Structure 1
């Protein structure tokens, strides 16, 4: 399944997170863990590609993200927890639509390795302005908080997100993607 993801996000202070969480307590929290993949020479990142396997309690999915002029094209493939575990542990990727795309971008699949993981506790709900996700992320001994809004219309979504932040006394703080924040914690051996 493919879809164009247009989203706006901001980092949150713990106080802002606690305030927004109090508004979303009726939404069940879901825990998900993202496992990120790249080569030793960062071929995926250098080609601006992002590959992850996301695990949930009873399911998993593989996602390849490819940036577009507006938004990011996401290619998603459902996996069983067992299939996900096999890939994460062995680094052996089965032939599928996503691995074929990676190959087409000139990345050697056998060179991909698990970089590590990031665990998110998420409250996600559909709102009048789009799909809202409130996240508490834990990775590399850190905890951070973010708010995301996924929208259909980029212009309207930007206005709606700004108004939502203003209405809830949240100051906008630029948020890199989760994979970029995670990768910034990796040791550099340059």
Structure 2
């Protein structure tokens, strides 16, 4: 499956997170873990590609993100939890619609390695302005909080996101992607 993901996000303070967590307390929490992959010399990053396996309690998905002028083009494939664990363990990725753009970039799939993981506890809900996600993330001894809004229309979505932040007295704080925040904790070569 392929789709364009347009989202707006902000980091949250612990206090801001707690206030929003109360607001969305009726939404069940879901735990998901992202396992990130790249080559030893970061060929995916050099080609502006990001590859992850996201696991849930009963299922998983393989995702490749490619930045666009607006948003990210996402390629997704559903995986069984067993298949996801095997891919995480072995790093042997099949050729499919998710991995084909990696091959097209001239990157050898057999060179992909697991970089590590990030675990998110998420409350996700469709509200009138889009799909909102309230995240508590853990990676490399770090805990951070984030709010994301996924929308269909970039300009309306940005205005709606800013209005939501204002309504709930949230100060906007630039949020790099989860992968970028995780990658910043990796040892520098």
TM-score normalised by structure 2 residue count: 0.99
The one-character-per-residue Cα deviations of 1:142-175 (angstroms, maximum 9, x if unpaired) are 0000000000100000100001000101000000
What residue in structure 2 maps to residue 120 of structure 1? Answer: 120
SS at match of 1:9: strand
In structure 2, the residue matched to 1:94 is: 94
Instruction: Tell me how far 1:94 sits from its aligned partner.
Output: 1.6
1:14, CA displacement in angstroms? 0.1
Distance in 2 (CA, whole Å) between partners of 1:163 and 1:109 is 43
Distance 1:12 1:83 in 2: 34
**Corresponding position of 1:51:** 51
- Report what 2:163 is aligned to: 163
Offset of residue 99 of structure 1: 1.7
Output the CA distance in 1 between the equivalents of 2:98 and 2:60.
15
Partner of 1:133: 133
Q: Deviations over 1:29-64 (max 9, x none)?
A: 000000000001000011110000000000000000
Q: Which residue number in structure 2 is paired with residue 32 of structure 1?
A: 32
Is the partner of 1:97 in helix, strand or coil? coil
Deviations 1:81-129 (A, max 9, x none): 1110111001111221112221011111111000000000000000000
Q: CA RMSD in A?
A: 0.5
How far, CA to CA, are the matches of 1:53 and 1:5 in structure 2?
A: 17
Aligned structure 1 segments of 4 or more residues deviating by more than 3 angstroms = none
- Tell me the secondary structure at the aligned position of residue 186 of structure 2: coil
- Residue of structure 2 equivalent to 1:18: 18
Partner-residue secondary structure (3-state), 1:188: coil
Partner of 1:98, secondary structure, is: coil
Unaligned runs of 5+ in 2: none
3-state SS of the aligned residue for 1:44?
Answer: helix
Match of 1:42 in 2: 42
Query: Paired residue for 2:177?
Result: 177
Question: CA–CA distance in 1 between the matches of 2:148 and 2:14?
Answer: 15
